Amino acid sequence: MDKRIKISVCGDEYVSGVIRDSLNTLPDFEVINSSEIAQSDIIYWVYGKGPSMKKYFLFWIKKDPIIINHWIGSDVLAEMNRAKKPGIARIKKFIEDCIFRWKMKTGGLITFAGAPWLVDELAKINLSAAYLPITTIDEHKLGTVENQPVKDIDFLSYIPFHRFNFYGGDKIIKLAYLLPVVLVETVQGIHPFLI
């Protein structure tokens, strides 16, 4: 008899694919299709508050299945903006927040955020989360910092100019001041940029 935990990974397709691939390597989990969400012991939801409360109301008012929410970026901004909406939207959000907190209080909801500042931003709208980064870096190819005698990259980032503030461009600039040479990618290519 197969006693593996059935887990459905849903939400943002790219990031949920990374989670799905990781869980597929673990013998205790059976990753099932998102279309089979009703058979899940655990629903791992990447991006936002999870499955629709309207469509999956019973999931939200019972302890099982356990829902894991993983906030990854712009979903936090969208939730912060939702908190500012007036009228009926605000009432709907209040009801959803009550259900969300109930599920968490009963032990049926776990929340993570992909960056420490996302944890802080969620706390500002009374949603608690633990920091759990998601990465696609293959540690076997990269190796550990301690084992590499010479590092050729200390820090690498890409931020589209039209989303500079949202993606923390100010933090990138602060880090750049700490490094002697920064490579800046422009339309013309990569150029060393001395600060």
Question: Could you tell me if 65 and 5 are in contact, meaning their C-beta atoms sit under 8 angstroms apart?
Answer: no
User: Which residue type is seen at 158?
Assistant: Y
- pLDDT score of 90 more than 70: yes
pLDDT tens per residue across span 101-158: 999 999 999 999 988 989 999 999 889 999 988 776 665 665 555 555 565 555 556 6
| pLDDT of the residue at 18 | 81
pTM here is 0.70
- pLDDT score of 185 more than 80: no
Is pLDDT larger for residue 111 or for residue 185?
111
CA dist 124 and 187 (Å) reads: 37
pLDDT tens per residue across span 47-60: 988 898 989 998 89
Is pLDDT larger for residue 179 or for residue 21?
21
CA dist 165 and 171 (Å) reads: 9
